[in-house]
Amino acid sequence: ERRSVTISLLDETGAPAITWKVKNAFPVKLQASDLKADASEVAIETLEIAHEGLTIENN
């Protein structure tokens, strides 16, 4: 199901630093790093989306 979404990068105070507004977006790929119980590595997830339009706002 396609949806319009808003993605915001927040600064250290929690205020939006930059905002991406994506029109009719849908996920095409989800990737996660392997988790190791005996390691202290950071887990990284990547979400790739397709869309029909993108607007960038500097806040």
pLDDT number for residue 13: 97
Q: For 10-39, how does the pLDDT look when each residue is reduced to its tens digit (9 = 90+)? A: 999 999 999 999 999 999 999 998 888 898
Determine the residue type at 11.
D
Taking a C-beta distance cutoff of 8 angstroms, is the pair 22, 56 a contact? no
Write down the pTM of the prediction.
0.75
Q: What pLDDT does 37 receive?
A: 85
Whether residue 59 has pLDDT greater than 90: no
Higher pLDDT, 47 or 41: 47
